[in-house]
Structure 1
Amino acid sequence: MHTILGAGGAIGAGLVMELVTAGHQVRLVGRNPTKVPGSLEIVAADISNLHETIRAVSGSTVVYLLVGLKYDLKVWTELWSLIMNNTIEACKRANARLVFFDNAYMYGKVNGHMTEETPFNPCSKKGDIRARIATTLLSEISSGGLNATIARSADFYGPGARNSVANMLVFDKFSKGGSAMWLVNDSVPHSYTFTRDVAKSLVILAESETAWNQTWHVPTAANPPTGKEFINLAAKGFGVKPKHRVLKRPLVMVAGLFDSNVRESYEMLYQSEAEYVFDSSKFSKAFGYEPASYAEGIKITSQAYK
């Protein structure tokens, strides 16, 4: 049984499809889970509660931690460490392996490409939290207490990725006849991971005996476009002019007075000010997998809005 903790988003839906295609039985776990075509079981559970997490994971062979908490520092501070500790304990009791879908916040400002060897140097409060929970899992792996893998992604985009910055600021805007937006600086390269590649890579990692107990960057196209280039590709997909505006720091700060999501994202703007390049060559070399090009991924995402 392959169990997905937090299967409500675009990554979870794609992962279900890939697991079913690969012949696995799938259990979905969430506070109010909705059955996805192909899934065998749905279990309502609050994984901030240890007993409910143990119950939800029982009988699993592989567990995927895909939880997406509300984008709120207070919520993250209260729940992330609890969720990680509960998930580790539940997996140990079930003798299940764990795949943790992670982001790149813990790296902080990086001069050059981000790789699996990039040290943790968070420069945000949310990055501190992500560094702590990743370190907790890595320590458990090092001690031999659990077989686990960290699958780390850049910012992602794709069909159904409603909470993705790229989807909200570019694809959503164009789909409604408006102008796109970009954060801070549209003239520097910024890596984005396509959701389809995330789902496929999680299954590849789970099925590979040599992939366990290490960190992997999920497949992300090399040579990322600048904000302008990303927007031009999206505009082409919608058949519209690439009109857009750049949201500078002062404007984001003012907008944050009226929108909590914008306010919470302010500390992460450093990711948009300079080059943000995510290197997944380790995965490509190990598995011979080539991710979707930006032209392909953006075209598919644009078409999904029509």
Structure 2
Amino acid sequence: MQTILGAGGAIGKELAKVLPQYTDQVRLVARNPKAVMGNEELVSADLLDLEATKAAVQGSEVVYLCVGLTYNIKVWQSSWPRIMANTIEACVDAKAKLVFFDNIYMYHPSEMSNITEDSKKDPQSEKGKVRLGILNQLWAAHNEGRIQATVARSADFYGPNAGSVSVMEEAVLKPLQNAKSANWFASLKNPHSFTYTIDAAKGTAILGNSEIAWGEEWHLPTAKNPLTGKEYIETLAALVGAKPKTQVAGKGILRILGLFNPIMKELLEMIYQYDRPYYFNSDKFESTFNYTPVSYQEGLKSLI
């Protein structure tokens, strides 16, 4: 049995499509789980509840923690440590291995130009501090021998099922499709890596089913040579037959928008990811598992 916690999100849905290559028993856990392939076991659970989490994980050999919380620092601070602690205890109880689907928020802003698994973990944002805290919880449990764990880390993602959590689709593609200006942050001139959701899911499944993966952090396969904000917008505009009209929100504009829009307020501390080149390096994964990620040209075309 392999179990996805947070099965209703973008990565959870794509992962559910991939896991049947490795097991004939897949369990989807969410507050309101829905079948993806049609033959999964569905379990409704609140991961803030330890006993509910234990029940959801019982009988699993591998567990994938793919939860996505509301983009709000107070929610993250109150919920993430409990979710990680409950998931660890549930995996200990079930003797299950744990794959944690992670992001890059714990890295220091100075590392953005070449983000590797060895980049310095020294977050300057409040959300980054939460992510580093739960990562430390995970490795403490692993190092104490309580569980076997691995980390599957993604850049910002785009692609099938990404929808409202994808900057590429929400801020760029949707406005262009409606003859409006595409939105970007800080600067249009900087390259910015994005992980394709199908690559993220395939990579996560590979890690959960590879003995060499345990005890390490892995950057999920992500295409090299990322485009700049300007190039992403021009490419998508051409694909939908729209004019590449653009509006760029810097810190000042985000501060003003944040007075009325909670998401914009939350994005302000993360704008460093757009005001400099953002290169996500997945060489370790690609060379170890002989994997070639989807190119940006292919990935962007698939959005249309």
The separation in 2 between residues aligned to 1:178 and 1:200, in whole angstroms, is: 34
Q: For 1:86-235, what aligned pairs fall within 5 Å after superposition? A: 86-111=86-111, 112-162=113-163, 163-235=165-237
Structure 1 counterpart of 2:187, which letter?
Answer: N
Output the aligned Cα RMSD. Answer: 1.2
22-31 vs 150-159, which moves further: 22-31
| Deviation (angstroms), 1:241 | 2.3
Q: Deviations over 1:43-96 (max 9, x none)?
A: 111111111000000000110001111111111110100000100010011011
After TM superposition, which residue ranges in structure 1, 4 or more long, deviate above 4 angstroms?
none
- In structure 1, stretches of 5+ residues that fail to align are none
Match of 1:275 in 2: 277
Q: In the TM superposition, what is the alpha-carbon distance from 1:239 to its structure 2 partner?
A: 2.4
What is residue 50 of structure 2 aligned with on the other side? 50
Gaps (5+ residues) in structure 2? none
Q: How far apart are residue 21 of structure 1 and its match?
A: 3.9
Cα distance, 1:177 vs. partner?
Answer: 2.5
Helix, strand or coil at the partner of 2:184? strand
- Provide the C-alpha distance between the structure 2 equivalents of 1:79 and 1:159, rounded to a whole number of angstroms: 27
Q: CA deviation at 1:9?
A: 1.6
Give CA deviations for 1:7-51 in whole Å, capped at 9, x if unaligned: 112211111111124443211111122222334211111111111
> Map of 1:57-72 to 2, 5 A cutoff?
57-72=57-72
In structure 2, C-alpha distance between the alignment counterparts of 1:34 and 1:108, rounded to whole Å: 37
Give, in whole Å, the separation in 1 of the partners of 2:118 and 2:177. Answer: 39
Structure 2: which amino acid aligns with 1:82?
R
Identity %: 48
Instruction: Give the partner amino acid of 1:131.
Output: L
Alpha-carbon offset, residue 297 of structure 1: 0.6
Cα gap change, 1:79 to 1:39, in 2 (>3 Å): farther
SS in 1 for 2:279: coil
CA distance in 2 between counterparts of 1:233 and 1:146 reads: 45
Letter in structure 2 aligned against 1:73: I
Distance in 2 separating the partners of 1:26 and 1:178 = 42
**Contact in 2 for aligned 1:16/1:39 (Cα 8 Å):** no
- Answer with 232-241 or 52-61: which moved more: 232-241
What is the aligned partner in structure 1 of residue 250 from structure 2? 248
Q: 1:167 to 1:108 in 2, by over 3 A?
A: farther
CA distance in 1, matches of 2:17, 2:134: 28
Are 1:26 and 2:26 matched, yes or no?
Answer: yes
Task: Give distance in 2, aligned partners of 1:239 and 1:233.
Answer: 10
Hey, what's the Cα distance between the residues in 2 that align with 1:177 and 1:274? 28
Q: Equivalent residue of 1:221, what SS?
A: coil
Rounded Cα–Cα distance in structure 2 between residues aligned with 1:246 and 1:123: 23
| Cα pair 2:7 2:33 within 8 Å, conserved | yes
Counterpart residue identity of residue 152, structure 1: R
Distance in 1 of aligned mates of 2:129 and 2:218: 20
Find the residue that maps to 1:277 and give its secondary structure: coil
- Taking the aligned partners of 2:24 and 2:116, their CA distance within structure 1 comes to 31
| Cα deviation digits, residues 146-169 of structure 1 (max 9, x gap) | 111100111111122121122211
**1:74 equivalent in structure 2:** 74
* Residues 177 and 242, structure 2, Cα contact 8 Å, conserved in 1: no
Do the aligned residues in 2 keep the contact of 1:217 with 1:279 (CA within 8 Å)?
yes
Give me the whole-angstrom Cα distance separating, in 2, the residues matched to 1:226 and 1:239.
Answer: 20
Alpha-carbon distance between aligned partners in 1 of 2:83 and 2:296, rounded to the nearest angstrom: 34
| 3-state DSSP of counterpart to 2:124 | coil
Establish whether residue 10 from structure 1 lines up as the match of residue 10 from structure 2: yes
The letter of the residue matching 2:61 is T
TM-score calculated relative to the size of structure 1 = 0.96
Q: Distance in 2 between matches of 1:222 and 1:37?
A: 31
State the shift of 1:255 in Å: 1.0
Contact 2:14 2:161 in 1 (8 A): no
